[in-house]
Structure 1
Amino acid sequence: MARKQSDYLAALLSEEEEAPTAVVAPGAGAEPERIERAERARGTTLLGRESALARVASGEVRQVTQLLLDPARVRPWSGNARSYAHLSEESCRELIESIVAENGQKVPAIVRRIEGDPTYDYEVIAGTRRHWAISWLRAHSYPDMQFVAQVAQLDDEAAFRIADIENRARKDVSDLERARNYADAMKLHYGNHLTRMAERLKLSKGWLSKMLKVAAIPDAVVAAFASPADVQLKPAYTLAQALDDKDKAPAIRKEAARLAREQAARREAMRPALPAADVLRALLAAPEAEQEKPVMHSIPHKGSGRPVASLQSQNRQGLTLRLHAGSGATFEETVNAVRELLAQLESEGRGLRA
């Protein structure tokens, strides 16, 4: 039960004990006015007690259950935008120190009971970081630390809204994580109706539409950034729009693959990652840079070294290949050269399916 509700009910129920219980008869010298006040107080107490119990029964005042749980019996809810796997001692350091200083978790998490799982009894709807911090503390010198949770009866849509409200104020939940969480929720809870979802979450349709657009950025492009957290809404929306252009998308994907390789090489060499602004600039400039490059794709004959097949031009209608005379290639070698050229273009995102 929440503390205010608990105090309110306790105060009402305790008034009966505080009111006078002995009534002195008038013949024994008691003052009639005092007797009347005592009777009135007793009657008021009984009415107050009945009123309090009636309000609990009707649901106007709701009793809330808080439990002390073993975090090992509680799992994160998969519908939450926060990535539990990416939480760490470093990212939760301030919270861990606060729990230790206060001798326990003071703000309860919100959980709901689950059935049919022999490993877990509850799942965390809001309070994922608190769950991670308590679990870490139990494994590091605080084995008696318990997870404080408030149990609620929630369907998935209500659980999603509660988790979303908590995550909006968290800086460590990236725009991309929230965007993809919204995209999943729109399918699962709102029948792909953007207006309905915006109304339920109290968000503008325009802003939600941008988030859903960002959610569609493929992982291969996200890999160009040092971290998914670098994919911020405003610049990422511009990138998502560019990826919708079939003429620009192949060059962007090709540049993203190159940048992803460079980021990996930098991590391996313990060098600083490419800044997000530089990555975004390179991705958006890739289509123009690609157009300025001369067409150089060709497959030479292994014997003469002369070109057998080459790419002459490419546009949204398709590819134009040139088969060169005088290369010395046989019919079978020419067919294989065309296949090799098409495979090379496909690997660069410039094939017929691009």
Structure 2
Amino acid sequence: MSNAQLILIDKRNQPLKEYIVAVAASDGLNIKGVEIMASPAKGETSLLNAQVLIPPLEAFDFDMKKLVNATLNAVSVKDEIMTVDEFIAQCSEDEAVRDALSKSVPKLRKKIEALLKEFLDSEVIPLILERRNDVLYKLKEHAKELKGKKIVCIDIEATNISTDPQADIIQLSACDGEGKTLFNQLINPGYDIPENEKHNITTEMVQGEPLLGHVWDEIHDQLRDADVVLAYSTESDFMYLEKSAEKKMLRFELDYNKWLDVAELSRDLNGAIRWHSERMYWFYKTPKLTASYEQVLGKPFPGDAHDALADAVATIELFNAMLDKGRKSQIEEKKKPKQVSDIITNNPFAAAFANAKRS
């Protein structure tokens, strides 16, 4: 008979910080000093130790049972990820020792639960959940409002970022609400295209292609006549069009109020929450189109992420999938933020949390 058992070792020397919980919520966390020790008997040297990895909390719906299972199914031994059963198998070849270690797993589960409870009790978690509920409500409303509407989803490739006044459009592409191509036009800027990691378009590719002014009217009017224009980051695409029209003296009748930013919706639905230590506030990171697509649809991003048409089609597919999440959600009305006690305002994290909920 063996007295071996699995023991959770917690050598942390400070309380859990809320900004750390924010990282764990989206990315998971490797906490230094928190390990599972396989002890042969009290006072004896450890058989083997495994690093505890906190799984991404939101990916498991902040559900304690799922999170405990995920934690025990992915412990780290010398950078090798394994289940707790595989860990036990590596601890000893003695069947009696292995059996004793296995019998101690329920006790270990309770210790893991207590560890995870620290994360789940953080005020960061309701802040995330409220944001997700709010965007699901928005998506449900969009699904109703956009039914039967003429949708155009656009994407643009350019010689540089939209804030550069010298940037020129070199590809304009758009699809409708079902992903059908409306236009896909390479544009000759009239000069050699500088190398840019944001796109794969070369000077040779645009030889023989029209100048922007030659195709402007048709493209402009399709955008103008749409009920709603979608883009992944509407601000930059609209800026490209507005500045190009001004620079090349082209007519411009586009209304930004008709544009809907899929990136903003994606940020609220999928974006990781982070703490800005200098400005003292919480913010949400906008995921890249490729990352959001793969997270929401659960499949690899299709095509070339540096091609305007591929991005436009992926954006509408992502948007439709998010609308479907909104339709299927149980959110009937936008939840009102609860009043937060002023008692916590001497804590900068708690104060920022309270302010974020009030806004």
Q: Point out the structure with the larger strand share.
A: 2
Would you call these one fold, judging by a TM-score over 0.5? no
TM-score interval for Structure 1 and Structure 2 normalised by the shorter chain:
under 0.3
Task: Say which structure is richer in helix.
Answer: 1
The alignment's TM-score, normalised by the length of structure 2, stands at 0.21
